[in-house]
Structure 1
Amino acid sequence: MARNAELAELAESIFAASYDKGATGLDTAAWKACAESGLTTLTDPEVGGTLEDSAVLLEAAGAWAARVPLAETDLLGGWLARAADLAAPDGPSVAVTGSAAAGAGDTVSVELARVPWGRALVAVVLLDGDRVLVLDTADAAVTEGANIAEEPRDTLTFTGVTPVASGAAPAGAAEELALRAALARSLLLAGAARGALARSIGYAGERQQFGRPIARFQAVQQMLAEAGSEVAAAAASSAAAARTARTAGFADPATVFAVAAAKSRCGEAATAVARIAHQVHGAIGFTREHDLRLVSTRLWAWRDEDGNEAYWNDRVGELALRAGADGLWPLVTGRP
């Protein structure tokens, strides 16, 4: 607990120091500070961090709308490279799935759409069937794109390039990669929801209407209370998923269930919290000058990335049916 508190304090201090509500793209200052503190490779065995440590870091990143690919680099790109017995890229990276066409010699060609932080990455770790390829992004043609939160979602086109490294993919890599991405997105959503609530509480205490702060009106208090319950649910479900993944491993049905439930619940919370936050702020919350948009647009974008509510609700249903009447309670609670 003490370690997590120290980690949260460190992360908050880094993100607060470089916070710029008008900037887009990679926050190089925050990235450098995170790298120097070991946060960009937190779950690397040489660093020794756990998934629960990563949960603390990503929740803080979501709350501050941090413009750094921490989840992509550590939980996805770094993990897949290490799982294939390859050296993790030294710098921002991400793992994606795709089908590369073989060319002359050892060259490959592949087009990867909507790659998170594509233009800022040093490498892409590609899961291509039963093999893992590390591709240098300097060899890629980049077509820039973005999600609604203005985070880079670029198309990277590799034509006849030689991979930096290649290795055999571990068993179940595709499923684990999808679960890791959904878990990371859930944690970021929980943080963004907390950030939206904090901004709403602050604004309600400052905004005067009829001679008193709007926070003193019962209707506003009820909305903020509802948002608070949604934030608590998102935090609890995502933290539980991280804990289950650490203790049981990603191949365990309990982890699949926990991650599926967390991503679905955090997506539901995202919708509710963003709606309430904008109701409390009124028209000013939709302006570019106000920083509420940084978290609300991330809530809208992230709830649909790495599987939306419908997709993960289907997974929850499938797991529940497969468990049957006798297995449902142990699946939900993690107890016999």
Structure 2
Amino acid sequence: MAESENIVLETAEKIFADLADAQEINHDKTGAWTAPLWQALTDAGLPLAWVSEELGGAGASLADGFAVLGAAGRFALAVPLAETMLAGWLLAQANIASPGGEMTVAPAGPKDRITQNPDGMLSGRARGVPFAKAAKHVAVLAHGVGGISIALVDAAELRIESGLNLGGDHSDTVIFDNVAPKISKPAPAGFDQTTLMLMGGVVRSLQIAGALESMLDISVKYSNERVAFEKKISKFQAVQHNLAKLAGESAAALAAATSAADAIASASAFDDAVFLEAVSAKIRCAEAAEKGGAIAHQVHGAIGFTIEHILHRYSLRALAWRDDFGSESFWAVELGNRIVARGADELWPLVASR
């Protein structure tokens, strides 16, 4: 790990540990914890980590940002840090400066489309946009007659219908009704909606992998504390077997997510090799979220289903993140189509290239 990544990651982890403790947040019913956390993140430059200094950001590398997102997943962070980082990255592709404050991206699903009309206005509907209600601006990928463009839109100009995901975080429908962007520029050559979805999918994969790490830690700790039939439940073979399965799911998710992040960080373009890595990570991490969450709750028994326990903060968010930027079923079909189009003889060389 590079020295710069050490510094960025250590800064993020210290902020999360000080201001995003799951137990304290779980007991705070007013949401008062969000303001100091967001201020600390902003002061550290983390929300705009992927934006160059010339465009108003911190100028951190992709690897630095990916490491921060993995840590954010371990804390099941319920503020739009990942969304703002992704929005800043999207705007930077078109050399658009990022404003301050919370941001999100649209569309957040591969089947939604925002259209840029000949007069420059934006129209369309984007569903499941994370933290749209909390965002001050939205970074938009739009399709127009002249090609694909990237735009910055004031959230106050949009109609936002509130929605919640499984974790209780905003997952809203954003309606663009002939909205004028603050600024709009053409996307770079080769950049399309699939590129945005792949990047968003890897972001979610890292968060899921981080959440699974915490679920494993919480479950192991609980099994060493809970006593049944006069011995710790960690001594029962069935519990040990379940914890081993959970550790396997966590390790598989972490390996897939970090490999995809490394592929993007070291690639010069979102080619077929990156597609394979990113899609495989999203599919595997989504599967791990389902299997791992079920095991963690089974180890905890009834207490794990209570709102007072912190386990749900991780398990439900991991499950909710499965659907953002394309579900595993969507990407499984896309991966199959890509492989079929390349032909059977090209499959192994593609897999072996990584």
TM-score when normalising by structure 2: 0.87
Deviation per CA, 1:188-216: give whole Å up to 9, x if none. Answer: 11011111111111111111111121112
State the partner residue of 1:69: 80
Residue of structure 2 aligned with 1:27, choices 31, 34, 41: 34
Deviating more after overlay: 287-296 vs 156-165: 156-165
Deviation at 1:6, TM superposition (A): 3.9
Asked whether the 8 Å contact 2:132–2:172 carries over to 1, the reply is yes
Say whether residues 1:223 and 2:242 are aligned partners: yes
State the partner residue of 2:47: 40
Asked whether the 8 Å contact 1:15–1:61 carries over to 2, the reply is yes
CA distance in 2, matches of 1:57, 1:330: 32
State the partner residue of 2:302: 283
CA distance in 2, matches of 1:268, 1:157: 31
Say whether residues 1:162 and 2:180 are aligned partners: yes
Say whether residues 1:248 and 2:267 are aligned partners: yes
Q: Which runs of 4+ in 1 moved over 6 A?
A: none
Asked whether the 8 Å contact 2:158–2:176 carries over to 1, the reply is yes
State the partner residue of 2:110: none
Go from structure 1 to structure 2 and tell me whether the alpha carbon gap of 1:160 and 1:305 turns closer, same or farther (over 3 Å shift).
Answer: closer
Structure 1, gaps ≥5 residues long: none
State the partner residue of 2:98: 88
State the partner residue of 1:334: 353
Match runs of 1:253-264 below 5 Å? 253-264=272-283
State the partner residue of 1:267: 286
Counterpart of 1:95, as a letter, is V
Deviation at 1:158, TM superposition (A): 4.6
Residue of structure 2 aligned with 1:150, choices 148, 168, 174: 168
State the partner residue of 1:99: 114
SS of the residue aligned with 2:26? coil
Go from structure 1 to structure 2 and tell me whether the alpha carbon gap of 1:154 and 1:329 turns closer, same or farther (over 3 Å shift).
Answer: same
Deviation at 1:91, TM superposition (A): 1.9
SS of the residue aligned with 1:115? strand
State the partner residue of 2:154: 136
Asked whether the 8 Å contact 1:257–1:319 carries over to 2, the reply is no
Go from structure 1 to structure 2 and tell me whether the alpha carbon gap of 1:100 and 1:225 turns closer, same or farther (over 3 Å shift).
Answer: same
State the partner residue of 2:17: 16
Counterpart of 1:54, as a letter, is G
Asked whether the 8 Å contact 1:250–1:256 carries over to 2, the reply is no
State the partner residue of 1:315: 334
Say whether residues 1:115 and 2:129 are aligned partners: yes
Go from structure 1 to structure 2 and tell me whether the alpha carbon gap of 1:42 and 1:206 turns closer, same or farther (over 3 Å shift).
Answer: same
CA distance in 1, matches of 2:7, 2:150: 35
Go from structure 1 to structure 2 and tell me whether the alpha carbon gap of 1:250 and 1:223 turns closer, same or farther (over 3 Å shift).
Answer: farther
Deviation per CA, 1:244-302: give whole Å up to 9, x if none. Answer: 11212442110000001000010111111101101100011111111000011012111
Counterpart of 1:92, as a letter, is E
Deviating more after overlay: 257-266 vs 161-170: 161-170
CA distance in 1, matches of 2:28, 2:341: 47
Asked whether the 8 Å contact 1:234–1:265 carries over to 2, the reply is yes
State the partner residue of 1:58: 69
Deviation per CA, 1:117-139: give whole Å up to 9, x if none. Answer: 01111111221202222111122
Asked whether the 8 Å contact 2:116–2:142 carries over to 1, the reply is no
CA distance in 2, matches of 1:71, 1:240: 19
Deviation at 1:322, TM superposition (A): 3.8
SS of the residue aligned with 1:99? strand
SS of the residue aligned with 1:41? coil
Asked whether the 8 Å contact 2:159–2:174 carries over to 1, the reply is yes
Counterpart of 1:138, as a letter, is A
Structure 2, gaps ≥5 residues long: 108-112
Deviation at 1:311, TM superposition (A): 1.7
Deviation per CA, 1:212-244: give whole Å up to 9, x if none. Answer: 211121211111111101111100111000111
Deviating more after overlay: 204-213 vs 317-326: 317-326
Go from structure 1 to structure 2 and tell me whether the alpha carbon gap of 1:270 and 1:136 turns closer, same or farther (over 3 Å shift).
Answer: same
State the partner residue of 1:189: 208
Go from structure 1 to structure 2 and tell me whether the alpha carbon gap of 1:218 and 1:30 turns closer, same or farther (over 3 Å shift).
Answer: same
